[in-house]
């Protein structure tokens, strides 16, 4: 029986050791003065450029050194992580609906967040365009061509990807206008587009890779900035960007996470960070990364010239806001589920 008590004591020791080790590691993980920006997938390059600029600006103004931490994943998953306790100081997500979810489920962000910053709290906008293979063999010019039989369309799954929801709503808004507000015809139109999708990747970048690297599909529906990036990364000799006549104005919003910054004492820096996004320096970086800046006057002329002019509609105008669009189209039993039924 002696051996039993020894081995039992050993178990205890190992468990205690592991526990103390993990708390120790955790404690060191919290740096003194740092900001965590929790963002969605396609903004990696953007915030990689903005963060050092902000750190320099902050140092010049306050003399403090600030460390900027970045977290990127799907917009919805990030909102969920913040709700469940990820200590974000700032959220910069793909959809207002995701920030609203943080407001409603956790109360960590004040409900009037969208009024606190200019332009509906969106320091930049973007839109949805098409990427096709060089020479445009399927002659794709507009949304109508995506609904034609024999065209393979690559787009992510609106159920799992924020970007995919913009794609869907872009198609819907275009068709609604085309059919003079006839919902039934619009639905048939959008259904025809999704019938043409051989794959529904779970994220926007997954779709880009499926299209560009795996050689699947004739056209990729993508964020404008993503299309430009893919164009640069995977070869300008292989693809062409096609701009439809009408598309959706995507407004990815930003907000300070009140509950977290008050607990951590980082409110001043967090507010400075989101306001910094509207400054000339940040706006120029934004345009350089193929987003449409809220203040085009601060951007380099050449960067602006790359962004084509097209007719843009907003979610508020056509769908009555994100909360409503989400419920009607993407919730279980919504229009998108209906479209997918065989």
Partner 1 sequence: MSAAAPVANKKARSFTAPSVIPGFRATFGFTIFYLSLVVLFPLSLLIFRASSLGLSGLYGIAVEPRVAAALRTSFFISFAAAAIDVVFGLITAWVLTRYEFPGRRFLDAIVDLPFALPTAVAGIALAALYAPNGWLGEPLADYDIKIAYTRWGILVALVFVGLPFVVRTVQPLLAEIDAELEEASATLGASRAQTVWRVLLPPILPALLTGFALAFARSVGEYGSVIFIAGNLAYISEIAPLLIIVKLEQFDYAGATGIATIMLAISFSVLLAINLIQAWSQKRFGHV
Partner 2 sequence: MSEAIPSAALAPVIAVAAPRSVTEETPLTRNVLIGVAVAFLGLFLLLPLAVVFTEAMAKGAGAFFATFEEPDARAAIRLTLIVAAIVVPLNALFGVCAAWAISKFSFPGKSVLITLIDLPFSVSPVVSGLVYVLVFGSQGLLGPTFAAYGIQVVFAIPGIVLATIFVTFPFVARELIPLMQEQGTVEEEAALTLGASGFRTFLTVTLPNIKWGLLYGVLLANARAMGEFGAVSVVSGHIRGLTNTIPLQVEILYNEYNIVSAFALASLLAGLALVTLGFKTLLEWRYAGQIAGRRRH
By CB under 8 A, name the binding residues for partner 2: 2-4, 6-7, 11, 14-15, 18, 21-23, 25-26, 29-30, 36, 41, 44-45, 69-73, 81, 83-87, 105-106, 203, 205, 209, 213, 229-230, 233-234
Is residue 239 involved in binding partner 1 (CB under 8 A)? no
Of 61-69, 116-124, 138-146, 327-335, which part binds partner 1 (CB under 8 A)?
A: 327-335
Q: What is the per-residue DSSP string for 23-56?
A: HHHHHHHS-SSEEEEEE-GGGHHHHHHHHHHHHH
Which of 115, 214, 268, 324 forms a contact with partner 1 (CB under 8 A)? 214
**Length of the chain in residues, anyone?**
342
Alpha-carbon distance of 172 to 187, in angstroms, equals 8
Among partner 1, partner 2, none, the one that 216 touches (CB under a kind-dependent 5 to 8 A) is: partner 1
Find the helix or strand (DSSP H, E) in which 214 lies.
Answer: none
How near is the Cβ of 290 to partner 1 at its closest, in Å? 25
Is residue 1 involved in binding partner 1 (CB under 8 A)? yes
How near is the Cβ of 175 to partner 2 at its closest, in Å? 31
Alpha-carbon distance of 38 to 43, in angstroms, equals 10
User: Count of alpha carbons within 13 Å of 88, Cβ hemisphere only?
Assistant: 30
Q: What is the per-residue DSSP string for 134-162?
A: TT-TT---SHHHHTSTT--EE---TTT-H
How near is the Cβ of 202 to partner 2 at its closest, in Å? 11
- The burial of 300, by beta-carbon neighbours within 10 Å (0-12 exposed, 13-18 middle, 19 or more buried), is given as exposed
In the three-class reduction of DSSP (H, G, I as helix; E, B as strand; rest coil), residue 218 is classed as coil
Among partner 2, partner 1, none, the one that 229 touches (CB under a kind-dependent 5 to 8 A) is: partner 2
- The burial of 162, by beta-carbon neighbours within 10 Å (0-12 exposed, 13-18 middle, 19 or more buried), is given as buried
Which of 41, 89, 145, 201 forms a contact with partner 1 (CB under 8 A)? 201
Among partner 2, partner 1, none, the one that 205 touches (CB under a kind-dependent 5 to 8 A) is: partner 2
Among partner 1, partner 2, none, the one that 2 touches (CB under a kind-dependent 5 to 8 A) is: partner 2
Among partner 1, partner 2, none, the one that 197 touches (CB under a kind-dependent 5 to 8 A) is: partner 1
How near is the Cβ of 54 to partner 1 at its closest, in Å? 30
Is residue 134 involved in binding partner 1 (CB under 8 A)? no
Q: How many CB atoms lie within 10 A of CB 216?
A: 16
Bridge partners, 128 (sequence order): 223
Query: What are the distances in angstroms from CA 179 to CA 103, 196, 263?
Result: 36, 20, 52
Is residue 187 involved in binding partner 1 (CB under 8 A)? no
Among partner 2, partner 1, none, the one that 317 touches (CB under a kind-dependent 5 to 8 A) is: none
Provide long-range contacts, Cβ within 8 A and 24+ apart, for 28-34. 31/67, 33/64, 33/65, 33/66, 33/67, 33/266, 33/269, 34/66, 34/67, 34/68, 34/69
Is residue 199 involved in binding partner 1 (CB under 8 A)? yes
Please give the distance of CA 211 from its chain centroid, rounded to a whole number.
Answer: 19
Residues 82-101 close enough to bind partner 1 by CB under 8 A:
83, 101
Among partner 2, partner 1, none, the one that 106 touches (CB under a kind-dependent 5 to 8 A) is: partner 2
Q: Give the CA-trace dihedral at 74, 337, 169, 154, to 10 degrees.
A: 70
Which of 19, 56, 105, 235 forms a contact with partner 1 (CB under 8 A)? 105
Among partner 1, partner 2, none, the one that 72 touches (CB under a kind-dependent 5 to 8 A) is: partner 2
Among partner 1, partner 2, none, the one that 193 touches (CB under a kind-dependent 5 to 8 A) is: none
Residues that bind partner 1 (CB under 8 A): 1, 3-4, 7-8, 11, 74, 76-77, 80, 83, 101, 105, 157, 159-160, 197-202, 206, 210, 213-216, 330-332, 337, 340-342
């Amino acid at each position: 029986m002696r051996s039993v008590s020894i081995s039992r004591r050993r178990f205890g020791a190992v468990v205690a050791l592991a526990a103390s080790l993990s708390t120790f590691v955790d404690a060191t993980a919290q740096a003194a003065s740092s900001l965590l920006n929790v963002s969605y997938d396609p903004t990696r390059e953007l915030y990689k450029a903005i963060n050092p600029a902000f750190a320099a600006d902050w140092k010049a103004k306050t003399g403090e050194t600030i460390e900027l931490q970045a977290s990127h994943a799907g917009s919805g998953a990030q909102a969920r992580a913040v709700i469940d306790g990820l200590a974000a100081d700032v959220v910069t997500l793909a959809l207002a609906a995701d920030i609203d979810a943080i407001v409603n489920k956790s109360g960590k962000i004040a409900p009037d967040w969208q009024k606190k910053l200019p332009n509906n709290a969106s320091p930049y906008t973007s839109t949805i365009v098409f990427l096709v293979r060089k020479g445009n063999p399927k002659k794709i010019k507009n949304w109508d061509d995506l609904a034609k039989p024999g065209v393979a369309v690559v787009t992510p799954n609106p159920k799992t990807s924020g970007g995919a929801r913009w794609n869907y709503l872009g198609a819907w808004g275009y068709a609604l206008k085309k059919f003079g507000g006839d919902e039934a015809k619009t639905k048939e139109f959008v259904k025809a587009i999704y019938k043409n999708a051989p794959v529904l990747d779970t994220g926007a970048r997954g779709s880009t890779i499926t299209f560009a690297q795996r050689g699947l599909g004739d056209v990729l529906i993508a964020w404008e900035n993503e299309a430009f990036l893919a164009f640069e990364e995977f070869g300008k000799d292989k693809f062409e960007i096609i701009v439809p006549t009408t598309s959706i104005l995507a407004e990815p919003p930003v907000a300070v996470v009140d509950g977290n910054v008050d607990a951590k004492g980082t409110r001043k820096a967090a507010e400075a960070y989101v306001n910094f996004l509207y400054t000339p320096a940040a706006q120029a970086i934004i345009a350089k990364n193929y987003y449409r800046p809220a203040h085009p006057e601060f951007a380099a002329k050449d960067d602006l010239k790359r962004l084509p002019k097209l007719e843009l509609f907003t979610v508020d105008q056509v769908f009555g806001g994100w909360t409503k669009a989400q419920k009607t189209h993407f919730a279980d039993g919504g229009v998108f589920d209906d479209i997918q039924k065989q």
